[in-house]
Amino acid sequence: MASEMNASAVSAVEPRGAAAHSARAKELARENGFPLNGIAVLPANGESPRSESYNAWLKNGLHGPLDYMLNSQPARSRMQNRFPWARSVLALGAFYDGAERGRPGRDLEAHVARYARGRDYHRIFTRRLKTISEALIKEGICTHAHYYVDTGPVLERAWAEAAGLGWIGKNACLIHPRLGSFFLLAEIVLDVELQADAAASDHCGTCTRCLESCPTQAFTSPGVLDAARCLVTWNIEFEGRTPKELWKQQGAWVAGCDICQTVCPYNNAARVPAPDAELAQPLPWQSLSMADVITMTEARFDVAFKASTLRRTGLNGLRLGAITAAGNLKLEECRQALMDCASDTDPEISERSAWALGCLNKSALVDIE
């Protein structure tokens, strides 16, 4: 989501110094639900931070099926190609619930990436960003403000790293040195050069837990992800249509994957901060079992997943994910649901259900032997 504002409808306030403007911008961020905040200034050449790495990633085809990453290359690699007036970026972050939830093998909640368990952050952040942008313009800090929530052509993590919110780790996630990586990002592009914060430095050291733990070995090198092998690409971005050769590696994940984050020492339980209260508000789907999801109807989906981040995965995406996880986990309590879906009119559902039943039946044979 994105929106742009200018000062045409507001009266400017007497300009202040860059340091005071920066302090006020970050104060507004905190007042509106972004405890992580910092400022990065566009360099003289206009290039985005880490643009060389991004361009090399595209050149090597590591964006996989994510065509939008290639199509938006001009704007991502050089922000002024889209916004000639851009001078600074206010990078923002808010924490989602990073604690373990649900009973593994039964509850859907235990098999969903933690960022996707909460309320739709796009809606929540958009409201907050609009408030901040209006205040920045009204107070005369800028005359143009364009904000994004994760869907715009911006190298979001790179700008956040440049603004001091954390460093991009070997797992390609942004990691805060004290608070880990269970947070979501947003940014506001401004037409004024504010006082920049110091860029974050790398603290991964020799640790390689994330690289070694990835079930599909999706990292070609530290910090470099092959999107075609990342489970999140398929079971969220492509609505559960994981290639057959990766069904087994998908393991217990219905939607998303947190392994490269949960093994990170910076995300140990003592470091995980309290989540944003609004993001963590309970949702109806959080009481659903895996079997419930496998046979879920469109009507029930619309009620249970209203205002949920998981709506992006779609009904069939969740069903395909739950079927895959049930097969990999050999969940006998899901057998009847899988049998019901083996003759589903949707060929993707029926094929995946037959595969999952085969996993259960194979397990039963092993038990008998």
Per-residue pLDDT for the chain (369 aa), expressed as one digit of tens each?
677 777 544 444 445 689 999 999 999 999 999 999 999 999 988 899 999 999 999 999 999 999 999 999 999 999 999 999 999 999 999 999 999 999 999 999 999 999 999 999 999 999 999 999 999 999 999 999 999 999 899 999 999 999 999 999 999 999 999 999 999 999 999 999 999 999 999 999 999 999 999 999 999 999 999 999 999 999 999 999 999 999 999 999 999 999 999 999 999 988 889 999 999 999 999 999 999 999 999 999 999 999 999 999 999 999 999 999 999 999 999 999 999 999 999 999 999 999 999 999 986 554 433
Residue 64: what pLDDT?
A: 97
* b/e 217-229 (16+ beta carbons within 10 angstroms → b): ebbeebbebbbbb
* 3-class SS of residue 189: strand
Q: Following CA atoms 76, 78, 83, 88 in sequence, which dihedral angle do they give, to the nearest 10 degrees?
A: 100
Q: Considering only CA atoms, which of 11, 147, 29 is closest in space to residue 83?
A: 147
Residues with Cβ within 8 Å of 25's Cβ and at least 6 positions away in sequence, in order, are: 37, 39, 90, 132, 136, 141, 190, 194
- The answer to whether residues 155 and 71 touch, using CB atoms and an 8 Å cutoff, is no
Q: How far apart are CA 262 and CA 320, in angstroms?
A: 24
Residue 331: what pLDDT?
A: 98
Q: Is 340 a catalytic residue?
A: no
Query: What pTM does this model have?
Result: 0.93
Residue 211: what pLDDT?
A: 98
Q: How far apart are CA 142 and CA 6, in angstroms?
A: 8
Which residue is catalytic, options 67, 97, 107, 150?
150
Q: How far apart are CA 320 and CA 349, in angstroms?
A: 6
Q: Considering only CA atoms, which of 153, 186, 136 is closest in space to residue 21?
A: 136
Encoded tokens for 230: 């990342």
